[in-house]
Amino acid sequence: MHLGVCGSVACYRATELLRAWFRLGIHVSVTLTDGARRFVTPLLFESLGAMPVYGGMFEAGQDIFSHLEPGQCAEAMVVAPASADALARLAHGAASDMLAAQALAFDGPLVLAPAMNPRMWSHPATRANAALLEQRGARFVGPDNGGTACGDDGQGRLAALPEIFLAGLQALSPQDMAGLRVMVTLGPTREAWDGVRFWSNPSSGLMGSALAVCAWLRGAEVTAICGPGVSAFLPRGVQRHDVTNAHGMYEAARGLWPDMDMGMFTAAVADFSPAPLGERKFKKSEAPDGFSLDFRPNPDILHNLAAVRRPGQKVLGFAAETAPDMDALLPLARAKLARKKADLLAANRVNAVGSGFGTPTNSVAVADARGREEIWPSQSKADVAWELCTWLLRI
């Protein structure tokens, strides 16, 4: 990865991007424009691990072909923040400073995250430059609306760092899911039993969001149907539909399913919902000796949609189980795979530490319709998602 940093009050935030990519083991080189070096120093980026850190075109001790090195070594280039001046140079092929020359000699994916005064961003010259760069394949992230350092409000501030971070990862990722439309259900459902209380579970939606992000990184057009309380980050490129209960999730999924190529059903949907006791709060004084609720079955989203899929649609299901160990989990995955008629089924132990609801890691047993079965040790949900997407593509 090569990171270009232009002169902007926001340029100090580039160090956070650097650290985030480093945590994933990504090598990052950096170029600071003259304007950027008025705000931050090369030493700051070097001390954080960036190597090399380029400065001006003709600095003493710098390799004479430094302007060509990112094009020879890096797989993606991200410019964050990108100033109006940088956009103009890149759009018109100027090579009078190091970053512009490096971009001109770079033929890989280019991600641009502009940051400038709103009036500068809205100026016809800047808009024309941005449009020209987009026509050539550059990907823009932002700018966002809001307050800027000069005190003006409007579109011009640097996009949220997670958006830029993921755009950089997308530029590095294989686009083996490009052209595919993927639907992911995630999170819990809430089934009301009076006007303010509900029947639910502690699902956070982390596994589903990891799958949605993974598919998006690999080029898919992703739609996420999210249960209540899902706060996991989803990039802007993922279409999000928020629902509350099982019936709402079923209706949303059923409406979208005919146009999808893949369905990833990770949501912890309540199997039953109580018959509500009314729209007001049920008071304790009304049942001092306790009370009973009548439960009725909810639609089985995975089973119902797998049953009506068209040829070519692929289905990934999840099973939350309380098995004594991983060996006991595999038969449960195998049984649910057959029962739901899915292509791929991942079962995870929700009663194990570091697996299941609300944890960043997962331990899963996986089975597919062709008879392949595996037990995976505990790993991040992002890694589980990546492997599941790869497996589903190969079925």
Q: What is the CATH classification number for the domain harbouring 255? A: 3.40.50.10300
First to last CA, the chain: 32
Predicted confidence at residue 61, as pLDDT, reads 67
In a domain, 283, yes or no: no
For residue 76, which of 8, 17, 121, 126 has the smallest C-alpha distance? Answer: 17
Residues 317 and 168 in one domain: no
Peptide bond into 52 cis (omega under 30): yes
Whether residues 154 and 191 fall in one domain: no
355 backbone dihedrals φ, ψ, rounded to 5°: -145, 145
372 Cβ contact partners less than 8 Å away, ≥ 6 residues apart:
none
Domain residues for the domain of 200 are: 181-278+289-394
pLDDT score at 81: 96
Distance CA 204, CA 256 (A): 23
Catalytic residue positions, numbered = 150
Assigned domain for 20 exists:
yes
Res 60: pLDDT? 67
Asked whether residue 271 is marked as a ligand-binding residue, the answer is: yes
302 annotated ligand binder:
yes
Q: Do the annotations mark residue 299 as ligand-binding?
A: yes
Among 154, 172, 190, the domain-final residue is 172
Name the strand (E) or helix (H) holding 153. Answer: strand 153-157
Low-confidence ranges of the chain (pLDDT < 70): 60-61, 64
- β-pair type (221-226, 181-186): parallel
Residue 53: both structure tokens together? 């850190």
Question: Alpha-carbon distance 6 to 387, whole Å?
Answer: 37
Where a domain ends, among 172, 205, 231? 172
Residue 246 lies in a domain: yes
Looking at the fold, whether 147 and 192 belong to one and the same domain comes out as no
Q: Is 340 annotated as a binding residue?
A: yes
* 314 annotated as ligand-binding: no
Task: Name, in order, each residue with C-beta under 8 angstroms of 358's C-beta and a sequence gap of 6 or more.
Answer: 202, 203, 204, 206
327 is in an annotated binding site: no
- The total number of structural domains that make up the chain: 2
